[in-house]
Amino acid sequence: MRLRNKKQRIDVWRAVAVTIMLGMVLWSGGPAFAEETSSSASGNVALQVTSWLLTAPYGTFKAAYAIGGSIVGGIVWLGTGGDTQKAKSIWRPAITGDYIIRPENLAGQRPLHFVGKTD
């Protein structure tokens, strides 16, 4: 299939990107709901809605960071003749970490890790 113009190519790439991001969101699992403690139900709803709204831009930047880290790690792996340990030192922090913002993160009950652990 040959794409005739630039707009068709952009539409195809946009569809591919949306499909990949949707797959990442669905594969990562559903959002976790905070237990209701002493706060009101409206406060919990507000935290949930805020976490959903903030997850869209945050998740986009985190996914871009992970993709960039994967590419750089691959370049390091190739440049070092296949040294997996050096590549993993880039891959692990870039790929791991939190991809979504949970209500617990906003309430200060759980830390948010953009960069994953390096262990």
> Which pLDDT does position 30 carry in this prediction?
52
Number of domains in the chain: 1
Q: Is residue 83 part of a domain?
A: yes
Q: Is residue 22 part of a domain?
A: no
> Which pLDDT does position 23 carry in this prediction?
61
pLDDT, mean of residues 93-113: 93
CA 51/CA 105 separation, integer angstroms: 8
pLDDT band at 117 (very low <50, low <70, confident <90, very high): confident
Q: Is residue 6 part of a domain?
A: no
pLDDT at 31 over 60: no
Among the listed residues 93, 90, 96, the one whose alpha carbon sits nearest the alpha carbon of residue 71 = 90
> Which pLDDT does position 113 carry in this prediction?
93
pLDDT digits (tens, 9 = 90+) for 33-74: 555 455 566 778 889 999 999 999 999 999 999 999 999 999
Q: Give residue 62's domain range.
A: 42-109
Q: Is residue 54 part of a domain?
A: yes
**Backbone φ and ψ of 38, nearest 5°:** -95, -5
Q: Is residue 8 part of a domain?
A: no
Q: Is residue 7 part of a domain?
A: no
